[in-house]
């Protein structure tokens, strides 16, 4: 079922937690709400579930306006960050609960619980209590409880954040597969950009209650709408350098070095006096030997990740990060040569932070 937020605002006292949100989610789509803590993403989800009232605006599930419909009649299923399993019930009773309260015939309940448990491979745990389960198993039970009936929308509030790193990556893949197989509209809240990039059909990036950008992961990464989105998505983070434009050249204010403007942007940028250059670490090339025409920088520290090395550099007054091959070695404070691949760079208005398009 499609879901639509129309001009939705939520205030707690003076502060606007969600500020005039317009968001349309298509049937069968996997949408991730991404943002730092306190950006209003969880509140948005809770408003859709009916656990939180809207201050103004309308929420639609399908063609039905659900603002005044109590949670239990909205026909959504939610997976909580804390799982919220019923501790006094067995796993089977936990999964069966949504069916029991809907007065589903007993014979049907058993078979549907069995099927849900089978999908999540927790068949042998059905007789246990939640406290006898590991974190990953509890997670699966919470998911099974959500999929045991066929709700109109799945809501997930940081379901993976309590798992360890390895399990998180594994569950991430399984979630994606599960959503694909079920084909049910899913709205997923996270602050983890890796989860957003890997899971979503479209990502909605939020900040301080305002929607920043709603687009495919590819476009969020490659064509961020503003500096906030560019900085939030990608790891390590994008580098930002303030520059002054002189005709076809741009002068890096941090180091006094100048770079030729990329051709595609020259028209758009020549109208500006100052711009912020944004460049991802993978587009900064580093060499420990002299290369003619490259800039010099000092190594602050290097971090070997195994398959690659993150090089933290001082470029004049600024600190930047570059990704280098795993073999790259450099002493702290040693001089290296770098090249910014400006054809891959993005440009932002230094005051508003909005992206400047070519």
Partner 1 sequence: MMRDLRLINTISSLVIVYTALNLPFVVWMMRGFFKELPRELEEAAMVDGDSRLGALVRVILPLVTPGLAATAVFCLIVSWNEFLLALVLTQTDAAMTLPVGIAGRVTQYEIKWGVMSAAGVVAMVPILVFALAVQRYLVRGLSLGAVKG
CA distance 130 to 66: 33
Minimal distance, residue 148 CB to partner 1, in Å: 9
Beta-ladder partners of 8: 21
Cβ of residue 122: shortest distance to partner 1, in angstroms? 15
Query: Does 218 contact partner 1 by CB under 8 A?
Result: no
In the shown chain, the binding pattern of residues 110 to 129 toward partner 1, with x for contact by CB under 8 A and - for none, equals -------------------x
Please tell me the distance from the alpha carbon of residue 219 to that of residue 221, in angstroms, as a whole number: 5
Q: Shortest Cβ distance from residue 77 to partner 1 (Å)?
A: 7
Q: Where are the alpha helices (DSSP H) in 120-226?
A: 135-147, 165-182, 193-199, 217-222
Site for partner 1 in 328-347 (CB under 8 A): none
Query: Contact at 8 Å (CB) between 119 and 111?
Result: no
Count of residues of this chain found to bind partner 1 when the rule CB under 8 A is applied:
32
Q: How far is the CB of 80 from partner 1 (least distance, A)?
A: 5
Which of 72, 115, 263, 344 touches partner 1 by CB under 8 A? 72
Q: Is residue 131 within the footprint of partner 1 (CB under 8 A)?
A: yes
Nearest to partner 1 of 53, 132 (CB atom): 132
Residues 6+ apart with CB under 8 A from 176: 30, 198, 199
Q: Is the separation of the CB atoms in 276 and 345 below 8 Å?
A: no
Closest CB to partner 1 among residues 71, 244:
71
Please give the DSSP secondary-structure letter assigned to residue 337. Answer: E
Rounded to the nearest whole angstrom, what is the least distance from the CB of residue 171 to partner 1 in the complex? 14
Place of tokens 């290369």: 291
Residue showing tokens 């406290």: 131
- Can you tell me the distance from the alpha carbon of 286 to that of 125, in angstroms, rounded to the nearest whole number? 52
| 121 vs 132, beta carbon nearer partner 1 | 132
Of the candidates 195, 252, 203, the residue with the CA atom closest to the CA atom of residue 229: 203
Task: Please state the closest distance from residue 98 (CB atom) to partner 1, in A.
Answer: 4
Does 278 engage in binding with partner 1 (CB under 8 A)? Answer: no
User: What mask, x for binding partner 1 by CB under 8 A, covers residues 74 to 113?
Assistant: -xxxx-x-xxxxxxx--------xx--xx-----------
Main-chain phi, psi angles of 292, to 5 degrees: -65, 135
- Going by C-alpha positions, the residue among 85, 119, 92 that lies closest to residue 106 is 92
Of the ranges 45-53, 205-213, 243-251, 306-314, which one interacts with partner 1 (CB under 8 A)? 45-53
Enumerate binding residues for partner 1 (CB under 8 A).
Answer: 49-51, 70-72, 75-78, 80, 82-88, 97-98, 101-102, 129-133, 135, 138, 145, 155, 162
């Amino acid at each position: 079922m499609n879901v639509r937020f129309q001009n939705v605002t939520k205030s707690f006292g003076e502060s606007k937690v969600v500020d005039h949100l317009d968001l349309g989610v298509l049937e069968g789509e996997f949408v991730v709400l991404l943002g730092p803590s306190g950006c209003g993403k969880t509140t948005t989800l809770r408003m859709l579930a009916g656990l939180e009232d809207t201050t103004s605006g309308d929420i639609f599930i399908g063609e039905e306006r659900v603002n005044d419909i109590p949670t239990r009649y909205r026909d959504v299923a939610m997976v909580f960050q804390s799982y919220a399993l019923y501790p006094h019930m067995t796993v089977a009773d936990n999964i069966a609960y949504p069916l029991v309260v809907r007065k589903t015939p007993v014979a049907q309940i058993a078979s549907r619980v069995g099927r849900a448990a089978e999908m999540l491979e927790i068949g042998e745990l059905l007789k246990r209590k939640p406290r006898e389960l590991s974190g990953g198993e509890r997670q699966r039970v919470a998911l099974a409880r959500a999929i045991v009936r066929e709700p109109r929308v799945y809501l997930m509030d940081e379901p993976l954040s309590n798992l360890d790193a390895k399990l998180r990556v594994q569950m991430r893949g399984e979630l994606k597969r599960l959503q694909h197989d079920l084909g049910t509209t899913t709205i997923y809240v996270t602050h983890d950009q890796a989860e957003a990039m890997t899971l979503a059909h479209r990502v909605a990036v939020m900040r301080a209650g305002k929607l920043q950008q709603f687009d495919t992961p590819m476009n969020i990464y490659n064509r961020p709408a503003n500096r906030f989105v560019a900085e939030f998505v990608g790891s390590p983070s994008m580098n930002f350098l303030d520059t002054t434009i002189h005709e076809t050249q741009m002068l890096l204010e941090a180091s006094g070095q100048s770079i030729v403007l990329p051709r595609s942007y020259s028209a758009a940028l020549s109208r500006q006096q100052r711009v912020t250059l944004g460049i991802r670490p993978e587009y900064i090339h580093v060499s420990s030997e002299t290369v003619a025409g490259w800039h010099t920088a000092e190594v602050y520290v290097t971090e070997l990740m195994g398959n690659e090395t993150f090089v933290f550099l001082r470029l004049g007054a600024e600190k930047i990060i570059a990704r280098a091959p795993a073999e790259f070695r450099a002493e702290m404070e040693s001089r290296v040569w770098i090249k910014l691949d400006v054809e891959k760079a993005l440009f932002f208005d230094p005051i508003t932070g909005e992206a400047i398009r070519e």
